[in-house]
């Protein structure tokens, strides 16, 4: 599948053999990145799924989730710095909303760093509502994690 307007992008479901490139993208995006071993181990969990966006052979973005029969938690959304502000994160988020709908899941949750205004803006534009906070959640900065929830009724917002 391709992103509308950019045929050079390819969106695919990731598998365990993508763990190393996921970890490299984590390193480029986060101050507390998952290691390759953590990425690989996540695929051993039946509730884990990840979807990536490739430009040629390069993973430029991915989203990972855990899901149960009625709830989906977005774990990570990573977009390489050079590909940000090109709507790739929005495309991945929309893909996950569609998958949740197909699975009959009605509630999505996520946590985001308080100062990550770009991500918060994306989530809010897509219909996520702030429902709480985890004080001093992030070990590296002591920053709060903001909790967001999306009730899947109508995906028109994103």
Statement: residue 4 has pLDDT above 80:
no
Name the 3-class secondary structure at 92.
helix
Give the structural domain span for 147: 9-157
Q: pLDDT of 125-138, one tens digit each?
A: 989 999 999 998 88
Q: pLDDT of 105-115, one tens digit each?
A: 989 999 999 99
pLDDT, position 117: 93
Name the 3-class secondary structure at 47.
coil
Within a domain: 134: yes
Counting the structural domains of the chain, the total is 1
Dist. CA 138–CA 132, nearest whole Å? 15
Within a domain: 125: yes
Q: What is the mean pLDDT of residues 29-53?
A: 95
Dist. CA 75–CA 59, nearest whole Å? 17
pLDDT, position 32: 87
Q: pLDDT of 53-82, one tens digit each?
A: 999 999 999 999 999 988 999 999 999 999
Helix, strand, coil fractions of the chain, as percent rounded to 5: 35, 35, 35
Within a domain: 39: yes
pLDDT, position 152: 82
Residue, of 39 and 8, whose pLDDT is higher = 39
Within a domain: 114: yes
- What is the phi-psi region of residue 56: left when phi exceeds 0, alpha when psi lies from -120 to 50, beta otherwise? left
pLDDT, position 156: 57
In CATH, what number is assigned to the domain containing residue 61? 3.40.630.30
Within a domain: 2: no
Copy the structure tokens of residue 84. Answer: 């940000």
Per-residue 3-state assignment (H helix, E strand, C coil) for 57-75: CEEEEEEEEEECCCEEEEE
Residue, of 7 and 14, whose pLDDT is higher = 14
pLDDT, position 2: 42
Q: What is the mean pLDDT of residues 2-17?
A: 79
Copy the structure tokens of residue 10. Answer: 């390819």
Within a domain: 120: yes
**Element housing 130 (H / E):** strand 129-134
């Amino acid at each position: 599948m391709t992103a509308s307007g950019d045929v050079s992008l390819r969106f695919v479901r990731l598998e365990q053999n993508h763990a190393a490139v996921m970890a490299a993208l984590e390193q480029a995006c986060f101050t507390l990145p998952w290691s390759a071993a953590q990425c690989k181990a996540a695929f051993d969990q039946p509730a884990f799924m990840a979807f990536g966006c490739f430009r040629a052979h390069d993973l430029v973005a991915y989203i990972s989730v855990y899901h149960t029969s009625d709830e989906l938690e977005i774990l990570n959304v990573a977009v390489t710095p050079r590909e940000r502000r090109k709507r790739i994160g929005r495309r991945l988020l929309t893909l996950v909303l569609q998958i949740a709908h197909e699975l009959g899941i009605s509630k999505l949750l996520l946590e985001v760093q308080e100062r990550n205004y770009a991500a918060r803006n994306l989530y809010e534009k897509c219909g996520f509502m702030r429902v709480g906070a985890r004080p001093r959640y992030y070990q590296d900065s002591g920053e709060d994690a903001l909790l967001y929830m999306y009730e899947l009724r109508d995906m028109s917002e994103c």
